[in-house]
Amino acid sequence: MSISAFGLLFLAAILHASYHLFYKRSLDKQTFAWCLLLVTIVAYFPLFVTRPLNLPPLGWACVLASGLAEAAYFVSMGKAYQMGDLSVAYPLARGSAPLFIALWATLFLKERLTTLGLTGILLIAGGLYLLNARSLGELLEPLRHLGNPSSRWALLAGLCISVYSIIDKVGTKYVPPFVYIYLVLLVTFLAFTPGILFGGKRASIAAEWRVNKVGILVAGIADLLTYYLVLLAMRLSYVSYVGSVREMSVVFGAFLGSTLLQEGYGQVRILASVLVFLGILLIGVAG
């Protein structure tokens, strides 16, 4: 992976982890997500209207498919958090995504991963899986809960991440990255809206804005920017590598949670962070 691609992903990871601090503190996760998408659409609209909109049919197809996959991701993660613990759902979703991405990229994009690259992906996935374990005795806890509805929703969320990542790799070949991601998030917002407005969450919108307006505004601005940086990196490297390295945001998130939210950063999390770092190094060497 080139230094340019890594630098883009490093910045994206910091932004992603930072605005997820506000996401974690929100009253209702799905309402917060809808509000930040609304801010994104409004804030970046002046830039969007200055860009030419001459997408080929395949570009429109990728925009629609990616937007729907991302909406499914929001729904899946919301369900996983509603039914189970963060420490089980989050590592399953984020840790499984790089493995799914590597599989789809090999099957459909014909990316030929080196042994070092594949080893790096596995190390990152393993590190992300371990990152939210509180002790050595909990290392198998997510696996023991695979039959639970929460874990199934988390794995579905990881699958959604992998699906829209592969679609985005194809879509940005036909559509400029900024225009592409704006349209994808617009589709996500429109697909997500019926569940918020007609799913009994209207009252929570005002409450969420009243309590977390600063977090919503920050997340809304950072959301598109983070996604844009990842898409730029995808143009410079394999989607398998990008999809894995971008998840170093979880390490930053764990560090911020430890320092700002006083969640602790024990030995298992340090080990997990080391595995993620080693995986990133191997991917850098591999290509």
Q: Where do the domains of the chain lie?
A: 3-286
- Under the banding of pLDDT at 50, 70 and 90, the label for residue 228 is confident
Does an H or E element contain 128, and which?
A: helix 115-130
With H, G, I as helix, E, B as strand and everything else as coil, classify residue 31: helix
pLDDT tens digits, residue range 43-88? 999 999 999 888 999 999 999 999 999 999 888 887 877 776 655 5
Query: What percentage of residues in the chain have a pLDDT greater than 70?
Result: 79
What integer best gives the mean pLDDT of the chain? 81
Structure tokens at 272: 């997990």
Q: What is the pLDDT of residue 87?
A: 53
Give the other-Cβ count within 10 Å of 191's Cβ: 18
pLDDT tens digits, residue range 122-160? 887 777 777 656 666 666 665 665 667 877 888 898 899
- Rounded to two decimals, the pTM is 0.79
For residues 171 and 31, what is the distance between their CA atoms, to the nearest angstrom? 28
For residues 51 and 15, what is the distance between their CA atoms, to the nearest angstrom? 25
For residues 19 and 80, what is the distance between their CA atoms, to the nearest angstrom? 20
